[in-house]
Amino acid sequence: IQYILKKIERYYAGEELKPNSFTIEHVLPESIKTDYVGMIGNLLPLGSKLNEDLANKELGSKLEGYRQSQYTTVKQFVEKYSNCDSWNKELIIQRTKELAKILYDNIIEG
């Protein structure tokens, strides 16, 4: 998963994330046991301190925290989903499909 997040960040920002420079944030917390919590659409790269600070917070608080991130993919996430009241299965699946298409069309094939 880290490899994929690094490649997506490189696609958007022009530079790849450095190894061990980020942790994987679950927008919908891992503590919520669902079959979609581990999907790429629910994941973001975050610095470890910020990730720790936002653990198990509600979406609104997380979005505010995400604004502090230096990563382009996180900034784009905030821009796109800042008006969402909740983060749910449908949004996770939709974002997973979008990221998969970007990954395939521009990174794997491109």
What does each of the 110 residues of the chain score in pLDDT, given as a tens digit?
Answer: 888 999 899 988 988 788 788 999 999 999 888 999 999 999 999 999 999 999 989 999 999 999 999 999 999 999 999 999 899 999 999 999 999 999 998 877 65
pLDDT value, residue 109? 64
CB 74 within 8 A of CB 46: yes
Taken as a whole, the chain contains a residue count of 110
Where is 108: in which H helix or E strand? none
Domain limits of the chain? 2-108
The whole-model pTM stands at 0.91
pLDDT value, residue 16? 79
pLDDT value, residue 76? 96
pLDDT value, residue 100? 94
24 token code pair: 């994987």
